[in-house]
Amino acid sequence: MIRVEHITYRYKREKNILKDVNLEIQDGETIVIMGKNGSGKSTLGKLISGIMKPKEGNILIDDLDISQKKNREKIRSKIGIVFQNPENQIIFNSIEDEVSFALKDLEKEEVEKRIKDSLQIVDMEHKRKEDLYELSLGQKQRIVIGEVLAKKPKYLVFDEPTTMIDSKGKEKIYQIVEDLKKQGYTIIYITNLAEEMLLADRIILLEEGQMVAEIKKEEIIDKLEVFEQYDIKIPLILQIVKRLKQEGIKIEFANYTIEELVKQLKEMIENEK
């Protein structure tokens, strides 16, 4: 479990970027952190990842205090992070060299297994012999995710991972995240893209460095006005479901997709015949 306790952060003499943030993330949970640019969401992700240290408050990763030097190596092994631009995380030309970079202390057979397994998860195993720099940005991002997974972290932080990727590449990333959820990873997903709220078990809204809302996935339809209050665009599928509910048509979703909506509406029509 991750516990964020009374976290405050500022850059040098600037105003506070985060103000008294408190958050608990349960094992196996997917949290989506949303907010406008400057709301502090990426800063929170970097603090949880241990890249930066809080000015005030504590962050505990499985009861290990992230600010204590003696815990840093253990914590680094528990957390993997994926940033916006995959090219900023890539070092080598070779996909195999890139994915195996942090696995130097392992036996050759284990390294090979981890390369294969992690590339299969991101659907890039068939590309493993290709030059990394010939791939698209979306493919590079999947290689970066594979590299992170090869280290076998418990917690994954995605910091706006689809910002630079086209719509086809975004869908690939979303599918990977859904697959990782099923495998039991704990995921902290940071975004300002409205449709990505649908990846969440729970959504955290930040506004000017403060937590202003905490919404479970099953509460989304009843709390759409909260997103509107903070100028977050509502995905079309949620607008449709809300309108149907207002018309007395109740739709129960596991995942909010157009395909699932059409399927349920067809079933309702068939049942009424």
Mean pLDDT, all residues of the chain: 92
Give per-residue pLDDT as tens, 143-152. Answer: 999 999 999 9
Radius of gyration of the chain (CA): 20
pLDDT of res. 273: 66
Extract long-range pairs of 13-21: CB within 8 Å, 24+ residues apart: 16/209, 17/43, 17/209, 18/43, 18/44, 18/47, 18/54, 18/209, 18/210, 19/208, 19/209, 19/210, 20/57, 20/210, 21/57, 21/206, 21/209, 21/210, 21/211
Q: 22-63, pLDDT tens digit by residue? A: 999 999 999 999 998 889 999 999 999 999 888 899 999 999
CATH number of the domain located at residue range(s) 2-234 in this protein:
3.40.50.300
- Of 23-27, 152-156, 219-223, which range is least confident? 219-223
Reduce the DSSP state of residue 58 to 3 states and report it: strand
Task: Answer yes or no: is pLDDT of 73 > 80.
Answer: yes
Q: 3-state class of 239 per DSSP?
A: helix
pLDDT-wise least confident of 167-181, 236-250, 253-267: 253-267
Domain spans of the chain?
Answer: 2-234, 235-273
The dihedrals phi and psi of 253, each to the nearest 5 degrees, come to -115, 140
Distances (CA, A) of 175 to 142, 191, 265: 11, 16, 24
